[in-house]
Structure 1
Amino acid sequence: MPARTGAEFLDRLAAARTHVEIQGETLTGGVAEHPAFRNVVRSYAELFDMQHDPAYRDVLTYPSPLTGEPVATSFLMPRTPADLEKRRLAFKLWADRSLGMLGRTGDYLNSALMALASAADWFGQADSAFARNIAAYYEKVREEDLLCTHTLIPPQANRAVTGSQQAGGALMAHVVREDDNGVVVRGARMLATIGPFADELLVFPSTVLRGTPEDKPYSFAFAIPSDAPGLRYIAREPLDYGRTHFDHPLGSRFDESDAVVVFDDVHVPYERCFVLGDPELCNGFYTATSAVAHMTHQVLARTTAKTEYILGLVTLLTEAIGIGQFQHVQADLAEIITTLETLRAFGRAAEADAAVNSYG
């Protein structure tokens, strides 16, 4: 299936049975129609529709190397400076649609998967199967245009101890057993932004792990469907208060929702595992693969769009009430302008100074 439309995104979400707990209510489906999610879900659907708009599709898509059909540009493995530019232009188009307010649009983690798959051989250090798994998973997400979320950190009940010591080691998500077909995971992770309406959850390393036997159960990277049995999202209080777009132009459209993820003995098949029981590989997960560079490339484009919006808004405010002549106001405006130009300079330097890494 090529790049999805907004309707296709909504259809898949309607068929999902994702377990979401929000403000005392439990959902097992129907997320797209719930008041906490329906508006932001439709903002995401608009992004998918942009991929098919003649004004944007040449930037937002490229031909799949597998089928030749259009797939999202955020999956494009950059081999040339022109590829980097195309990726940045695609990031900026999507970011401009939300004024830079949507922080976890699909292009963010698509960029991570692109870099990880390009470095598939690195995953093969532990087992050649992991190299095949990451390459196959990247291809699946690209061809099906899936929307991914990811977990960032373990819950921090006590910051004075490591994750493996939190609540006697039971709090942080960890592998409790293996079988012939995969591993079983129990515990919690956070902070899965857009988790309640994402297609897939990427459970990636985040904190530095020590190379001790105690850290082995916490050393993994894998992906599972958001409605996998035993998986629960506990969403925070929504910032969409049901008001109109006119009254609440940001909260009524762009509240992405963050969630704690609870694994109640979730079974993860081996073919969806990329690292298992190897703290050293987990610690090099982002840097050794260049994933962090490509994720940050997207972040930079989005932050530039957000800063442009803030500068425009502040300029209109100063003009509307006639305070542009005051020096402290001018100083505040100058600070925003400086921030914006710094971001643009970072983006230009990142692309101008780019070099081919060991994975091409």
Structure 2
Amino acid sequence: MDALKAFADIAPFLSNPLVLVGFVLLLFFGIHRTLIKSGVLRPLSERQGGVVVKLLLKYGFVIALVMILCGFGYAFYTATLDVERSAKVAETVKVLQEAHEREIAEYQRREEAYQRRDEELTKAVTAFAHLAEKPDAPQSVEDAQKELEAGNPEAAEQIFADTLERKAAEGEAANKEAAAAARHLGALATLNDAQKALVAYRRASKLDPEYSSVWISLGDAAVTAGSLAEAERAFRQYLEFQEQDGDEREISVSHNRIGDVQVAQGDLSGALKSYQAGLEIADRLASQDPGNAGWQRDLSVSHERIGDVWIKLGKEQTALVSYSQSYDIAKKLAEKHPEHPEFQSDLTYLNEKLSVYRGVFEK
């Protein structure tokens, strides 16, 4: 049994050519020497065996041992190289994964910000149409409206900027109208000037701070402009308003937005807490109304965001659980709503993401 165990320990090295040849020589000369010692074979004389045969018989066993040792040394050297190579590959994979995860997180943030921006743009365009219908509308409104319809918002921005200044000059009574003009100006500016949009939303928040939606718009604009601390303050202000109103869905959205900023700031433990707070609400809402596709998707997104943080924290297996939960929800939504392109896109994306991480972390 001891011999078998010893052979099992060295068996993986027998694939090395030097080790294999050495063992063959060892067996050959070892058997030959044993037969000679036992008297079964008579030793060859120099005249009978010749010089070459004598040297082989005399030193063959030593040669075999040397070849085996060389083979083991070579095998050990190549195994060391494989370990170093594997470590470098693992490090490269990790860097690529982190870069991929950052791109995905930024894509998700932009997608949500675009949805909010579209809502604000719709309000801005509608407000501009109403402004054009007023009898006291500025002379330039008609021309500006044509420019806006042609995809050139600059002229419309100027109209809102003029309205903002005029209403702001009228005093506190006109602040709400001035704030509305500032919000519309910010929505239009997001199309081509992040800094201008941020300035407009800042002003709108000061003119009418009780208009809760301005805070999430301000936060999104601050993120785009790279002002993360300001973005977090704005999102927390929006969270306060939603908690006062009891709007659970928007409370969940607020926690996710704050989590996004914390990830960008490198505060992973804080981000995890924020995302988990959002997940608890999303889970409760989805359980209350399983037929609400929007709430189900919110839950899927929350699981995915938490998975992204676990990846950054080095908890790969925990991350895979979160990704799997996100994928299962997305799959049900895609199967139930085959006509919905967003749900189909979610499923494809999550399937690819889960496949990649499973292939890396479950080996």
Q: TM-score, normalised by structure 2?
A: 0.24
Q: TM-score, normalised by structure 1?
A: 0.25
- Greater helix content: 2
Highest RCO, 1 vs 2 (Cα 8 Å, sep ≥ 6): 1
- Greater strand content: 1
Q: Which has the larger radius of gyration?
A: 2
